[in-house]
Amino acid sequence: MAGKKPLPPGATIGILGGGQLGRMLAMAAMQLGYRCIGYAPEGDNVAADPCADFFTDGWSDRDALAAFAGQCDIITWEFENVPLEAVEAIPAHLLATDPAALRIAQDRLEEKSFVEQLGARPAPYMRVDSDEDFARAFERVGTPGILKTARDGYDGKGQWRVDSAHEAQGIRFPGRRCVYEGMIDFETEFSVILVRTADGTIRFWDSTANTHDSGMLTRAALPAGEMVEGQVEAARAIAQATADALDYVGVLTLEFFATRAGPIFNEMAPRVHNSGHWTIEGAATSQFENHIRAICGLPLGGTETRFAAIDMRNLVGEEALEAHSILAEEGEPHLHLYGKREARDGRKMGHVTRVSSRLP
C-alpha cells in the first residue's frame, strides 16, 4: 500500500472469513462508501449480511479464490486461522497486510519466539511433540500449567489445564504439536490494540481490563485499574515493535497478563479484536473504521476514549435470545446482535456496551 493512492469511494474490499468481526468491518466500510465482498466456506456466515456479494467456497478452491480476488481492490482478513495457502493464492499486491503476520499468529510457538525476540516476556513454556516431551515439559515448567495445541485453538478450545501431577498423568499428547506453559498468577488481563498505516503511523486505543471465562472473553472494561495503567507503556512498546517488524497495516492486537513482575505476553491477533468492540461507541473512531481507513490509505481517525467508564460484555449462547430487553435498561446500553442463526452454548451472539461520563 505504501505510496499508493487512497482507494476511492465505490472501491471493493474483500474480507476473508465470515464471522462477526467481518460483519462489523463491512458495516464500517459501507459507511465510508466502500463495497465489501466476503469469502468463507459454507456456514453461519454473518458477515454476508452487509456484503454486496459472498463466496461460500472452500479455502483450497483456487478458482473461487481467483474469482473473488478478481473483483477486489484490496483484501483483508477477519479470522486468523484462514489457511495460509488460501491467502498466498491471492496476488500479493491485493493483500492489505503482509501474510507473515498471519503465519506467525497461527502458531503459538512461532508467535512466542517472535515477540520474545522483540523484548516481550511470555509465560515459561516448552514445545511438546510427544508424551515424553509432555512429561519433560511438565517436570521443568511445573504445575499449575496449561497444554495448548500450537495451531487452530481459539476461545479456550484446544487447551487442557493441568493443576497437579495426578492430573498430568491423565493427559495424553493429542497428536498435534503443542506448547505447555506455566499458569500465570495475574492480577488482570489486558490487550493493546493499535492501528498502523502503510507509512508507519501508529495509534493506540486505551487498554481495557479483560475478563475471560473458560478461555473466552466475557468482558472488557475501562478504567482498567492502576496495575494495567502502570504497565501499558511497556506493553505498547512491544506491540509497536511487533507492528513495525512486520511492516503491519491495519489493526493489530496483543494480549497481556498484568502481574506484580510486569506485563507477560500471552498472544497476538493480526486483526480487530473482541476486546475492542467498545470503541464503536466509546472511542473517537472505532477499531473497525480505523482498520478500513488504514488498509484503504485514508487518514486515520482519533482513538481517544470519549467516556470516563466503559463496560463491554459479550452475549453468549441463549442469553442473546432475550437481549432486546436490555434496551429498556437505564443508561442507554448499546446493543449489537450478530444475526447468528443458532444460539449454541458458548457461541458469541452479540455484545452490549455501556458507557458513562462518571467513574464507577
334 φ, ψ (degrees, to nearest 5): -105, 115
Under DSSP, the state recorded for 19 is: S
The burial of 146, by beta-carbon neighbours within 10 Å (0-12 exposed, 13-18 middle, 19 or more buried), is given as buried
Rounded to the nearest whole angstrom, what is the least distance from the CB of residue 77 to ligand AMP in the complex?
18
Rounded to the nearest whole angstrom, what is the least distance from the CB of residue 62 to ligand AMP in the complex?
31
How far apart (Å, rounded) are the C-alpha atoms in residues 267 and 106? 10
- Per DSSP (E only), the strands in the chain are 12-16, 35-39, 53-55, 74-77, 125-128, 145-149, 159-162, 178-182, 188-196, 202-204, 209-213, 216-222, 250-259, 262-269, 309-316, 334-337, 348-356
Residues in contact with ligand AMP by CB under 6 A are: 123, 146, 153, 156, 181, 183-184, 189, 212, 215, 255, 266-267
Rounded to the nearest whole angstrom, what is the least distance from the CB of residue 179 to ligand AMP in the complex?
9
Cβ nearer to ligand AMP, comparing 136 with 219 = 219
Cβ nearer to ligand AMP, comparing 13 with 178 = 178
Cβ nearer to ligand AMP, comparing 206 with 267 = 267
Cβ nearer to ligand AMP, comparing 13 with 222 = 222
Rounded to the nearest whole angstrom, what is the least distance from the CB of residue 156 to ligand AMP in the complex?
5
Cβ nearer to ligand AMP, comparing 45 with 207 = 207
Omega before 223 within 30 of 0, i.e. cis: yes
Rounded to the nearest whole angstrom, what is the least distance from the CB of residue 52 to ligand AMP in the complex?
33
How far apart (Å, rounded) are the C-alpha atoms in residues 343 and 128? 35
Q: Please report, to the nearest 10 degrees, the dihedral formed by the alpha carbons of residues 38, 251, 103, 123 taken in order.
A: -140
How far apart (Å, rounded) are the C-alpha atoms in residues 197 and 192? 16
**Nearest CA among 220, 208, 285, 212 for reference residue 251:** 285
Rounded to the nearest whole angstrom, what is the least distance from the CB of residue 108 to ligand AMP in the complex?
7
Cβ nearer to ligand AMP, comparing 148 with 334 = 148
Hey, which residues does 30 pair with through a beta bridge?
A: none
Residue pointed to by grid coordinates 523484548: 119
Cβ nearer to ligand AMP, comparing 72 with 221 = 221
